[in-house]
Amino acid sequence: SFDMALSSILTEAEIAAGLQSCQAADTFDYKTFFVKVGLNSKSKDQVAKVFGILDQDRSGFIEEEELKLFLKNFSASARALTDAETKAFLAAGDSDGDGKIGVDGKTALIK
Q: Is 55 left (phi over 0), alpha (psi -120 to 50) or beta?
A: beta
Q: What is the pLDDT of residues 49-107, one digit of tens each?
A: 888 888 888 899 999 999 999 999 999 899 999 999 999 999 999 988 899 998 777 77
Please give the DSSP secondary-structure letter assigned to residue 55.
Answer: -
Helix (H, G, I), strand (E, B) or coil at 94: coil
Instruction: State yes or no: 43 annotated in a binding site.
Output: no
Helix (H, G, I), strand (E, B) or coil at 28: coil
Instruction: State yes or no: 45 annotated in a binding site.
Output: no
**CATH code for the domain of 97:** 1.10.238.10
Please give the DSSP secondary-structure letter assigned to residue 60.
Answer: S
Instruction: State yes or no: 100 annotated in a binding site.
Output: yes
Which domain does 86 fall in, by range?
Answer: 4-110
CA dihedral sign, ordered 18, 30, 100, 10: negative
Distance separating alpha carbons of residues 86 and 28, to the nearest angstrom: 9
Task: Name the pTM for this structure.
Answer: 0.86
Domain count, the chain: 1
